[in-house]
């Protein structure tokens, strides 16, 4: 039986970042993934992920994103890959709607947290918004937030770069191999896959939306809920190119009237937008990966109130959110196994934090002092 100090099960955003950190510290580590990451069957695909430093979802996330930004820079320097592009971020909301996103009042909470943490930003009002963004339509009484240092990450390239560096630094990576059982007993974890049996001192479980299935009854049924999400690409009738237009969040009264999106990237004439839904649960093995014309119609109707876009030629893709009861993160050892660290897929807002979460995972499994307080990332039922 092959043995390792640490095995990382699942090599998406979180697992690849953890494997990179482990290999950097010289740990004898193996990473296993059922597919060949980066791939488009989990939660880390679709060419772009917003990153912002004032995290309206909660102050506990700010150290994670700040540390992540340092790690992305370090990886960019080591590999020459451009992972983070700074376009600035606009959050805007009409005067009459509340601004609900990820359980936060995203506009006002973001401004509050930017002020508290000294993050460079501007609070904008209707006239300022119209002057600054003439190709957007704003409703009366709109207000907004602009963060110049924000932008987007290229998710597939981030995962690929983590794995490339992990391999270079000595980690083993096995793809096309599925973990089917884990058994923790006195100082070791037995990991059974469809090909092999392994033993390790610590296991990092970062299996994305499959985590619920892997953990089974070890955690409560509501600990993780999985929701299919859709991303849409619409052709544009104005210049929203990344050189002159930021990433954005439009906050509305509820999830269905809020969305987030990206400028036209790499010379394309399309913008990508995502609308969140938390009504219908699914699982990653049975999820319907087709997006219907009706879904695309509804997205167009909402987004075209603000953006000059065309319905014809729209494209769409699905992705998965795995959500905790408080729309937060779980970075915690299993209640019944203190050598199995669960790193959850982070409720639809984790990518920007993934590099810093990888470092946290390494520190926790190596019994080092974590660089930030992890009190808010415990299992909710624990």
Ligand X SMILES: Cc1cc2nc3c(=O)[nH]c(=O)nc-3n(C[C@H](O)[C@H](O)[C@H](O)COP(=O)(O)OP(=O)(O)OC[C@H]3O[C@@H](n4cnc5c(N)ncnc54)[C@H](O)[C@@H]3O)c2cc1C
- Footprint of ligand X (CB under 6 A): 9-15, 32-35, 37, 42-44, 46, 49-50, 178-179, 206-208, 210, 214, 229, 231, 274, 319-321, 345-346, 348-352
| 53: preceding bond cis by omega (within 30 degrees) | no
Residue 135 DSSP class: T
Q: Measured from the CB of residue 262, what is the shortest distance to ligand X in angstroms?
A: 8
Q: Measured from the CB of residue 210, what is the shortest distance to ligand X in angstroms?
A: 3
Residue (29 or 179) nearer to ligand X, CB: 179
Contact 271, 240 (CB under 8 A): yes
Q: Measured from the CB of residue 285, what is the shortest distance to ligand X in angstroms?
A: 10
Residue 141 DSSP class: T
Residue (50 or 71) nearer to ligand X, CB: 50
Residue (9 or 364) nearer to ligand X, CB: 9
Q: Measured from the CB of residue 345, what is the shortest distance to ligand X in angstroms?
A: 3
DSSP for 16-42 reads HHHHHHHHHTT--EEEEESS-SS-SSS
Q: Measured from the CB of residue 31, what is the shortest distance to ligand X in angstroms?
A: 9
Instruction: List the one residue out of 36, 40, 44, 48 whose CA is nearest residue 317.
Output: 40
Residue (27 or 32) nearer to ligand X, CB: 32
Contact 323, 278 (CB under 8 A): yes
Residue (98 or 174) nearer to ligand X, CB: 174
The H or E element containing residue 354 is helix 354-365
φ and ψ at residue 23, rounded to 5 degrees = -65, -35
Residue (138 or 210) nearer to ligand X, CB: 210
User: Which residue is closest to ligand X by CB?
Assistant: 12
φ and ψ at residue 52, rounded to 5 degrees = -145, 155
Q: Measured from the CB of residue 127, what is the shortest distance to ligand X in angstroms?
A: 29
Q: Measured from the CB of residue 11, what is the shortest distance to ligand X in angstroms?
A: 5
Residue (15 or 144) nearer to ligand X, CB: 15
Residue (111 or 319) nearer to ligand X, CB: 319
Spell out the residues 6+ positions from residue 77 whose beta carbon is closer than 8 angstroms to its own. none
Pairwise CA distance, residues 126 & 250, whole Å: 14
Pairwise CA distance, residues 125 & 136, whole Å: 14
Pairwise CA distance, residues 53 & 72, whole Å: 14
Residue (252 or 358) nearer to ligand X, CB: 358
Q: Measured from the CB of residue 153, what is the shortest distance to ligand X in angstroms?
A: 8
Pairwise CA distance, residues 317 & 45, whole Å: 10
Instruction: List the one residue out of 228, 179, 261 whose CA is nearest residue 15.
Output: 179
Contact 64, 376 (CB under 8 A): no
Token pair 């376009």: residue:
87
Residue (274 or 356) nearer to ligand X, CB: 274
Q: Measured from the CB of residue 151, what is the shortest distance to ligand X in angstroms?
A: 11
Pairwise CA distance, residues 203 & 181, whole Å: 12
Q: Measured from the CB of residue 205, what is the shortest distance to ligand X in angstroms?
A: 9
Token code pair at residue 266: 């790499």
Pairwise CA distance, residues 59 & 74, whole Å: 24
């Amino acid at each position: 039986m092959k043995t390792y100090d640490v095995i990382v099960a699942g090599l998406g955003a979180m697992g690849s970042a953890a494997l990179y950190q482990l290999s950097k510290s010289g740990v004898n580590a193996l990473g296993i993934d059922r597919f060949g990451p980066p791939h488009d069957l989990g939660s880390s695909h679709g060419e772009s992920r917003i990153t912002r430093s004032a995290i309206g979802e909660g102050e506990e996330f700010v150290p994670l994103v700040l540390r992540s930004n340092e790690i992305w820079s370090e990886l960019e320097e080591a590999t020459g890959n451009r992972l983070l592009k700074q376009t600035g971020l606009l959050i805007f909301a009409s005067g009459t709607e509340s601004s609900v996103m990820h359980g936060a009042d995203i506009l006002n909470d973001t401004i509050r947290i930017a002020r508290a943490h000294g993050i460079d930003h501007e609070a904008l009002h209707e006239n300022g918004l119209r002057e600054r963004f003439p190709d957007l339509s704003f409703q009366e009484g709109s207000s907004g937030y602009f963060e110049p240092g924000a932008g987007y990450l290229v998710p597939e390239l981030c995962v690929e770069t983590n794995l490339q560096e992990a391999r270079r630094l000595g980690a083993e990576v096995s793809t096309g191999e599925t973990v089917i059982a884990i058994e923790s007993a006195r100082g070791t974890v037995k990991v059974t896959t469809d090909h092999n049996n392994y033993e390790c001192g610590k296991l990092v479980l970062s299996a994305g939306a499959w985590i619920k299935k892997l953990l089974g009854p070890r955690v409560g049924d509501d600990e993780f809920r999985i929701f299919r999400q859709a991303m849409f690409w619409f052709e544009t009738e104005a210049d929203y190119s990344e050189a002159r237009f930021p990433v954005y969040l439009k906050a509305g009264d509820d999830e269905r009237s809020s969305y987030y999106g990206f400028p036209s990237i790499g010379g394309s004439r399309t913008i990508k937008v995502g609308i969140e839904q938390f009504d219908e649960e699914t699982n990653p093995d049975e999820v319907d990966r087709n997006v219907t014309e009706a879904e695309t119609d509804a997205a167009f109707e909402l987004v075209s109130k603000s953006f000059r876009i065309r319905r014809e030629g729209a494209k769409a893709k699905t992705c998965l959110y795995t959500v905790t009861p408080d729309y937060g993160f779980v970075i915690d050892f299993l209640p019944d196994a203190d050598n199995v660290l669960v790193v959850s897929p982070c409720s639809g807002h984790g990518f920007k934090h993934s590099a810093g979460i990888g470092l946290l995972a390494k520190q926790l499994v190596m019994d080092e002092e974590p660089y930030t307080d992890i009190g808010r990332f415990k299992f909710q039922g624990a």
